[in-house]
Copies of this chain bind each other. A is one copy, B any other.
Amino acid sequence: MAVFPFHLQARDGNARAGSLTTPRGEIRTPAFMPVGTVGTVKALTMEQVQATGADIILGNTYHLMLRPGAERVQRLGGLHDFSRWSKPILTDSGGFQVWSLSQLRQMDRDGVTFRSHIDGSQHRLTPARSIEIQADLLGADISMQLDECTNFPCSPEEAEASMKLSLEWGQRSLEAFGDRSDQALFGIVQGSVYGDLRAESARRVAAQGFDGIAIGGLAVGEGHEAMCQTLDLTLPHLPHALPRYVMGVGKPIDLVEAVARGVDMFDCVLPTRSGRHGQAWTWDGPINLKNARFAEDLEPVDARVNSPASRDYSRAYLHHLIRSGEYLGAIILSWHNTAFFQDLMATIRQAIKEGRFAALREDLSEKWQHTRSSPKPPDPI
C-alpha cells in the first residue's frame, strides 16, 4: 500500500492525468520537476519557481552530500527550510552523478566508494546510506533507491548483471527505509534497451512494494526513438496504481511522447541549462537568442507562456544580455523555460482530462519533430 494517495482522474489512450497527494502538497500529474541541484534551481528564486506552477522540485543527493554536506543540511533544518521550498522535494539516490561526475570510483556488491569532483575527498554510498541522506538528513518527501547506472551502450550481459544488482539494492533500500507515514520511496527499473530485461526488471520492481516506480537508464545517449521503444517495452509491465517517473527526461517532444505511453513524472536540467546558454523553448520550438536575427526583434520570447519572463522582455534585449554575458539573460531564459515546461504539462493535463490528448500530441510531435535527439555515436576506441 503506497504511502501517498495517487488518484487517476482521467485517461486518454495510455496517457493519464491525476494527482499524488503528499503532506507538503498535491503533485498534479503528469508533472515536470525542475532540478534544484544543490538547493537552488539554477539562477531562480524559489518564488519564481513556485510562480511557474511547479508542484515539486528535485534535489541531487550527490551534490548535496559533498557540499554543504547532508549532516549540515540536517542541522540547518533540512533541505526544505535550507532552500526555502515548502512544497514536496524528490531526491535522487546519488548514483547517477557518482557514475557521471566522481573520480576513482570503486564498485562492490554493497555500494560504491568514490572521490569528490570538487576536492577529491573520499565518500561512500550504499543503499542504506543513500536512504539515510535522502530521507533522514535532507528530509526528502520522495526518496529514490540507489541503483547502478548502466553505461550506454552496453552488452545484454552487462545490462542483466547491472539490473539484478539494482534489484538487490532496491530491496536493501526498502529495508533501510522501513515504514514511514509521511515519506515515500520509489524503485527503479533498469535493463538498458533490452526488452526482456526491462520486462523482468519492471515486474520484479513492481513486486517489491515501492510507492512509485522510476524508469532509469534513459536520457543517456540512446536518442528519442530508442527511448520511446524502451518505454513501449517497459510500461505494460508496470502497475497502473503507482506513479511512473522517467528520470532525466527530457525535451518537450520527449515529455509528450512519454506521457502518451503512460508516464506521470519527469525531471530534467534542460530548462535551466539551456536557458544559461541562450536557448528558449517555445510553443513553436526552440530558438537561440544569441542568433543575430534576434538583435532587433521587439517580440517577447513567447507571449503565450504565462510568465513575466516570457512576455515582458524583448528578444532584442535578451539577445543583448546573452551576448554580453549578463546574469539577467540567464535568469530570464531559465525562468521562461521553467515556465514553459510547466505550461506544457498543464496543457497536457488539461488535454487528457478533456479527451483531446491525441490531437495535441499529433500537433506538437509534428511541430517539434526536428528536435528529436539522435542516438549519441559510440565513444571512439
Docked Cα-Cα span, A176 to B321, in Å, equals 31
Docked Cα-Cα span, A39 to B44, in Å, equals 20
Question: Main SS of the interface on chain A?
Answer: loop
Contacts of A124 in B (CB 8 A): none
The interface stretch among A151-159, A206-214, A253-261, A327-335 is A327-335
Given contacts A76-B298, A83-B317, contact A328 B68 (CB under 8 A): no
**Interface contact A67-B323, CB-CB below 8 Å:** yes
Interface residues of A in 304-335 (CB under 8 A from B): 312-314, 316-317, 319-321, 323-324, 326-328, 330-332
Interface residues of A in 13-53 (CB under 8 A from B): 38-40, 42-45
**Interface contact A321-B40, CB-CB below 8 Å:** yes
Contacts of A75 in B (CB 8 A): 296
Rounded to whole Å, the gap between the CB of A222 and the closest CB of chain B is 31
Q: Which residue of B lies closest to A77 (CB)?
A: B298
**Interface contact A43-B296, CB-CB below 8 Å:** no
**Interface contact B296-A76, CB-CB below 8 Å:** yes
CB<8 Å pairs between A and B, sample of 20: A38-B321, A39-B320, A40-B326, A40-B327, A42-B327, A43-B331, A45-B331, A67-B320, A68-B320, A68-B323, A72-B295, A72-B296, A76-B316, A76-B317, A82-B317, A82-B320, A84-B313, A84-B317, A327-B331, A331-B331
Given contacts A72-B295, A82-B314, A316-B76, contact A330 B327 (CB under 8 A): yes
Contacts of A68 in B (CB 8 A): 295, 316, 319-320, 323
Interface residue count for A (Cβ, 8 Å)? 35
**Interface contact B324-A38, CB-CB below 8 Å:** yes
Rounded to whole Å, the gap between the CB of A38 and the closest CB of chain B is 5
Rounded to whole Å, the gap between the CB of A24 and the closest CB of chain B is 19
Docked Cα-Cα span, A218 to B375, in Å, equals 60
Interface residues of A in 191-242 (CB under 8 A from B): none
**Given A76-B314, A82-B314, A84-B312, 15 other A-B contacts at CB below 8 A?**
A38-B321, A39-B321, A40-B327, A40-B328, A42-B327, A43-B327, A43-B328, A67-B324, A76-B296, A82-B317, A83-B317, A84-B313, A327-B330, A327-B331, A331-B331
Given contacts A72-B296, A82-B317, A295-B68, contact A327 B327 (CB under 8 A): yes
Q: Which residue of B lies closest to A323 (CB)?
A: B67
Contacts of A326 in B (CB 8 A): 38, 40, 42
Sort A-B residue pairs by CB-CB distance and give the 6 closest, nearest first. A43-B327, A40-B328, A68-B320, A38-B324, A40-B326, A76-B316
Rounded to whole Å, the gap between the CB of A176 and the closest CB of chain B is 27
Interface residues of A in 46-94 (CB under 8 A from B): 67-68, 72, 75-77, 82-84
**Interface contact B324-A44, CB-CB below 8 Å:** no
Rounded to whole Å, the gap between the CB of A292 and the closest CB of chain B is 11
Docked Cα-Cα span, A319 to B38, in Å, equals 12
**Interface contact B76-A328, CB-CB below 8 Å:** no
